Structure 1
Amino acid sequence: MEKHFVYIDGTKIYYEDSLHGKEVLVCLHGFISSSLCWYPIMKHMTKFFRVIAFDLPGFGQTISSHDFEYTLTNYGLLTIRFIEKLGLNKVHLVGHSLGGQIALQAAMKKPNLFHKLFLIGASAQRKRPSKIARLFCYIPFADEAAYRFYFQDRMVDIAISKVLAGGVGLEGERLQPYIDTCKKREVIKAVLKLGKEREDDMKESDLKTICHNTYLLWGREDQVVSLKEGEFLNRNLKNSTLAIIEHCGHLPMEEYPYTVLHHLYSFFIPNYLNQT
């Protein structure tokens, strides 16, 4: 994977690109995450596809412009501009958690740019933060207060434990990158900006306009984005399939990487099941 930066509307986007492969998978990470979340399966995906994974503004190594709008709509538009900047067309989108919702936003706004969608634990029924929560985000030095009191070891441990709840668990080197991400000041600023600016997830009426062949993959024990949200998407997307991984939480790529790859290959590679 080669590492690159590209500027889009003043935002310096970090991405990794395998460069080779006829079909292209563009991978979108989730909330308080980065392209690192794809590492457990990325090298395997490059055997069959050109794989591109980028860090969303506010996360990982991407540096957002001062006036970047932290809305789902704008994240979707930025995804479109990123793909067009690379001169690509008819790509597949692979999204996890918040990245799944952003993939849906992009597919709705420019359907002809995309071919298939593969969504893992995609957020689907999230509401805009409450008025009180939004007001907190406007308080001067709220990011410093959050850093001092909410993003230190104890609170981070609680957050991580919920993400991993119900799954097989992670330890040591596999867990540390997620802890480190939670403690970055830029991430805290992004969380607060999302708290102020993000809107509700897509309405049922909007979801029904998406006609792309879509594969929904869920951990049965996901405590962050429950299986009910996967069932909601499956009811409202016109051309979707819902598959479930038993004894799995919110990070299937880490918990069951080869199971995820099996589902992904089965969806994207014709006759894959007949070849195995």
Structure 2
Amino acid sequence: MKKSIIFALIAVATSFAIWAGVTYPRIGGEALHLASSLETSLYGLHRAEVDVSDSTMMSWQNSPDDGKESVIMIHGYSADKTVWMRFARHFTKQYRVIILDLPGHGETAFDPALKYDTVSQAQRVVEAMNTLGIKRAHIIGNSMGGFIAGQLALHHPDRVQSAVLVDAAGVISPQESDMFKMLAAGRNPFEMSSRAEFTEFYAMTMAQPPWLPKMILDYMADDYIARRESLARIFQDFHSTDFLDNRLPDIQVPTLILWGEQDRLLHVSGAEVWKNGIVNAELITYPKLGHMPMTEAPSQSAEDVLAFLAKHH
């Protein structure tokens, strides 16, 4: 009798451990999505689908207003629209704001039949503008999103009122970042198979990350692990596009470059490449910030961008 009770307790404990291991990160994900939904609604943003020729992109938007200029925010590789959330709240009263989840990111599905190079992604942004009835917009992009913003400024200047490049990919930095040293050694920090690898990667993304509880970080880690194959494919396509170093003088739209000096993914020396290549480009760097100033210091970086946009109505 005693043995059967012991075995029953062991079975219950084992079942609970399995349940907890499965549901714990899932609860973290639900908490993250709920918190993001509530917070964005406070900022006047709502979820909306945007149809383009080859996909349906999820977005956050505020209510259209014909009297407002438009601002489109584009996240980086492997990220999603949530990185702009607290930055975007500073723009919603004055601008029409659209924050996209590019295909293969966030709530927009990965489709192996699509192309994920920056020219293709830039074309989808143009198509999204057409769907939304936006003739011209201020384009703000981080990392890969900055590369896409650069492609838009180069190939679709009539649609770009100004470009803001935040720690932007797309040029060769004179000094190698920690990420490029890892890539040269044969390891991509974005492709991970354990939570420990995610912890190492996450420390590279920001110098001053906002606080998140462990169950949300574990959910994010598990999500990266689950997306390993699709992220590898997107990375391959993303890096199949020629960088813009030799085309920078052809960019004629007003351009602001923001960069965190502690960036470990894209070295801050790349900022000067953009600035020296684009005529009259402006540059602001942040000594204590990393790869995502809009997430690390949303109020400060938004203030700098708003001042720039005010000069380019």
Smaller-chain TM-score bracket: 0.7 to 0.9
Identity rate of aligned residues, in percent?
20
Q: Which residue of 2 aligns with 1:158?
A: 200
Distance 2:87 2:160 in 1: 22
In structure 2, the CA distance between the partners of 1:217 and 1:201, relative to structure 1 (3 Å rule), is: farther
Question: Counterpart amino acid of 1:110?
Answer: H
Is the radius of gyration larger for structure 1 or structure 2?
Answer: 2
For residues 47-87 of structure 1, the C-alpha deviation after alignment (integer angstroms, 9 at most, x for no partner) is 21111001011000012444111212111111111111211
Give the counterpart of 1:243 among 257, 261, 284.
Answer: 284
In structure 2, the CA distance between the partners of 1:264 and 1:39, relative to structure 1 (3 Å rule), is: same
In structure 2, the CA distance between the partners of 1:2 and 1:169, relative to structure 1 (3 Å rule), is: closer
Q: Which residue of 1 aligns with 2:176?
A: none
Whether 1:218 aligns to 2:259 is: yes
User: Which ranges in structure 1 are unaligned for 5 or more consecutive residues?
Assistant: 137-145, 272-276
What's the offset of the Cα at 1:208? 1.6
Q: Which residue of 1 aligns with 2:271?
A: 230
Does the Cα contact within 8 Å between 1:58 and 1:187 map onto a contact in 2? no
- Structure 1: which 4+ aligned runs deviate by more than 3 Å? 173-179, 184-187
Does the Cα contact within 8 Å between 2:194 and 2:225 map onto a contact in 1? no
Does the Cα contact within 8 Å between 1:215 and 1:267 map onto a contact in 2? yes
Does the Cα contact within 8 Å between 2:172 and 2:270 map onto a contact in 1? no
What's the offset of the Cα at 1:175? 9.8
Q: Which residue of 2 aligns with 1:59?
A: 105
In structure 2, the CA distance between the partners of 1:185 and 1:162, relative to structure 1 (3 Å rule), is: closer
Give the counterpart of 1:168 among 204, 208, 213.
Answer: 208
RMSD of aligned residue pairs (Cα, Å): 2.7
Q: Which residue of 1 aligns with 2:134?
A: 88
What's the offset of the Cα at 1:254? 2.3
Distance 2:232 2:93 in 1: 38
What's the offset of the Cα at 1:94? 0.6
Whether 1:7 aligns to 2:48 is: no
Does the Cα contact within 8 Å between 1:204 and 1:236 map onto a contact in 2? yes
Give the counterpart of 2:232 among 173, 184, 192.
Answer: 192
Q: Which residue of 1 aligns with 2:92?
A: 46
Distance 1:8 1:232 in 2: 33
What's the offset of the Cα at 1:201? 4.7
Question: Counterpart amino acid of 1:95?
Answer: G
Q: How many residues align?
A: 252
What's the offset of the Cα at 1:184? 4.5
